[in-house]
Amino acid sequence: MIEVNDPKLTSWVPVEAGSDFPIQNLPFGVFQKDDHHPRVGVAIGNFVLDLYALQQDDYFGALLIPDEAFRSYTLNALIKTGKFKIRALRFAISMLLRSDNETLKNSANIYGKYLIPMEEVKMLLPIEPGDYTDFYSSIQHATNIGKMFRPDNPLLPNWKHMPIGYHGRCSSIVPTGTEIRRPKGQIIYKDGDAPQFKATEQLDFELEMAFITHEGKMQGLNITTEEADDFIFGMVIFNDWSARDIQRWEYVPLGPFLSKNFASSISPWVVTLDALEPFRIPGEKQEPEVLDYLKFNGDKNIDIHLQVYIEPEFADPTLVSDSNYKYMYWNMAQQLAHQTINGCNVRAADIYASGTISGNEPNSYGSMMELTWRGANPLTMSDGSERKFINDYDTVFIKAWCEKNNVRIGFGEVRNKILPAFKQ
């Protein structure tokens, strides 16, 4: 067991029962207070621990991490320092925050200089990704979508032989709290013979998680499933917004384009892969047997509880999906191994989304496309209104957490409100 994950650890910082951010978590993010330069912080209870302030007072001197890694608009520079340096940093932070360590606890102006209430800061997009891959790795989701369009052959022949994915758009990845405009595009109706240009009528969320990488190997070399964990920094919640009616018209022959690239949103705190170690579990048996480069040892799936809520503008939120990341057919190690098997290089702060996560029960499906079965079975909101897809002024938010031995390792949430399409 990694010492920092010990469920017996407690902190002198007050942490409410059920908090996403106990001392066993210590996720990294980028925050801004007032008009000050953005800094890297760690979440502990309802506070942000200012790592730049600690660096300036020489709490991390032995780690030889440059100042610019802590005073930055992104985590990119910190991620580039590598897995083992960040592991050492997380250990040093844990030591400072433990109940039996008074080194930091007795510092002057501790609340304000080092610990800042979360409500006083603005959380920024934690990374600047250079590349983004979206996988399609939930067998239930792939089967559901296949049944809608190919009832006699839901899964295409290649699906069980490799993790299917496509390269997405980095520039439109946004942080939680960003308002998203309804996108426009070409739409064709069943009884029409020509497309129309208009705002999507089938705006959808996609419940996903994503992992963020460290710097990889040189171009031409691959990362094996056994090496993959050393190249993964951590995970965030990922909402891959989709316009289903635009997607249906454009996705043949080259896959999604305008239906996906208008927005994807992520949670602000990156939970390290180390913090998720206690929650590893076996995945589904993969049949037929995979090729050698996709074989792996040990438990590679992770038990992460996932919930999606829709909140109409003047009503209470409604839980619409209660799912789990454990349903993934292809795991992160296999995804990264497949991404690089042809010599593709990965870089620090690249992001890899899981694809929509759907469980075996209808209430665990990860998109409105599935939950309402293409709109045939609308969902009822708390105010009595119905949803086939997402309406203007709806807010969609996703929560994610792991829980075991009375320790909850949470990701916070990703929350976004939908605004009407721009008029042109």
User: Which residue, among 35, 42, 9, 39, has the nearest Cα to 23 in the 3D structure?
Assistant: 9
User: Is the Cβ–Cβ distance between 355 and 332 less than 8 Å?
Assistant: no
State the amino acid at position 128 in one-letter form. Answer: E
Judging by DSSP bridges, how do beta strands 264-266 and 173-175 pair with one another?
Answer: parallel
Active-site residue flag, 141: yes
Rounded CA separation 105/109 (Å): 10
Rounded CA separation 215/64 (Å): 18
**Catalytic choice (37, 141, 161, 214):** 141
Residues paired with 111 in a beta bridge: 115
Angle (CA) 100-105-108 rounded to 5° is: 160
Q: Is 16 helix (H, G, I), strand (E, B) or coil?
A: coil
Rounded CA separation 286/289 (Å): 6
Rounded CA separation 391/203 (Å): 8
Rounded CA separation 38/312 (Å): 32
User: Is the Cβ–Cβ distance between 200 and 246 less than 8 Å?
Assistant: yes
DSSP state of 98: B
- Return the residue matching tokens 């929650």: 279
Rounded CA separation 345/134 (Å): 16
Torsion from C-alpha of 147, 168, 422, 317, nearest 10 degrees: 60
349: left (phi over 0), alpha (psi -120 to 50) or beta: left
Catalytic residue ranges: 141
